[in-house]
Amino acid sequence: MNEEQKKWNVVPFDTFEQYLGPRYENVPGVEYILENGTLLYFMEEAPGVYESADHTVTGAADKPKLYVPVYDGDELQPSSFEEVGAREQLAAITDFTVTMGLPGVNQRQEPGFVLDNGLVLLESERDSQGNYKAGAGMDGMFLQTGRVFAPIRYDGGEIIAFVEQPPAREREQEQAKAPEPEKPARVNQGYTILESVDAGGVEFVLGENPKAVQPFVTWRCVDGGGPTDFTWGHYYNDYQSAKRDLMGRAQEQLNDRNEGKPPSLRAKLRMAQENKSLPGPHRPAPEKER
């Protein structure tokens, strides 16, 4: 799958009653309980895959999902379970080969899978992510449907079921919505940088170190230096004073930059227009030729 999968540890069997307390009698048939409160049940139609209940151990509503066990040292007892998709997207396998061609006309068995929803998957029809492009098997022909299925593997090996993936456009939109990973915080001399201000290409920062005598500081970044090359530190006992200094230093830098900056073309044109409108000495109109 393209989406980041989630993994949760298992609550040991012998602690079920202690873990659940009075709720223990309300979860009959539960095979496993995860540390986040998810209740897992064995799936008859897809052995090796587990489905979660529509509620957690606390009774809170939850959307049923699919999970596969993860074994770490003990081949009989899973240490955790990995979420692989929504329950409604499951497609169980009914056959491990696909009949292609018509009887008497090059009919053959191709490596692939027949799903319980009637679609077929061929080993030869896969995308760059390893997902299977589903087809409709009609009269021995493979007709593309545009639907894509990701394999669910038992302990990372044998394929035991499939989970349908959203269309490529929807996947791209979901990925675009996902927040970018946060960049690691910059730290200088034990101070974590909290805020940054760009003043005409010159960066000023505000940092905090709760263990320092003066826990707040503002710095100017060294021109052409690295992300933590700072100079001219101003130290303060409280955040508000440091914040005022940060903004004041940035404003001072902008003022200095503007004073030494030549007037822009727009400013020059405005000045020229103003000069034209100023009253000047009276000049008599030229006489007409006779």
Q: Where are the domains of the chain?
A: 6-90, 91-151, 187-259
What's the pLDDT band for 218 if we cut at 50, 70, 90? very high
Q: Does an H or E element contain 247, and which?
A: helix 239-259
What's the pLDDT band for 113 if we cut at 50, 70, 90? very high
Q: Give the DSSP letter string of 109-153.
A: EEEEEEETTSEEEEEEEE-TTSPEEEEEEETTEEEEEEEEEEEEE
- In angstroms, the Cα distances linking 49 to 81, 91, 114, 160 are 10, 11, 18, 8
- Interatomic CA distance for residues 125 and 135, integer angstroms: 9
Give the pLDDT confidence score for residue 16 in this predicted structure: 62
CA torsion angle 182 185 186 190 (round to 10)? -170
What's the pLDDT band for 10 if we cut at 50, 70, 90? confident
Tokens of 200: 């005409």
| Mean pLDDT, rounded, for 180-207 | 86
Contacts of 88 (CB under 8 A, 6+ apart): 64
Give the pLDDT confidence score for residue 6 in this predicted structure: 85
Place of tokens 């993994």: 7
Within 10 angstroms of residue 101's Cβ, the number of other Cβ atoms is 14
Tokens of 108: 């053959």
Closest-CA residue to 162 (of 202, 121, 194, 108): 121
Give the pLDDT confidence score for residue 204 in this predicted structure: 93
What's the pLDDT band for 282 if we cut at 50, 70, 90? very low
DSSP single-letter state for residue 94: E
Give the pLDDT confidence score for residue 94 in this predicted structure: 92
For the chain, the 3-state helix, strand and coil shares in percent, each to the nearest 5, are 20, 40, 35
- What SS3 state is found at 260? coil
Closest-CA residue to 141 (of 111, 112, 98): 98
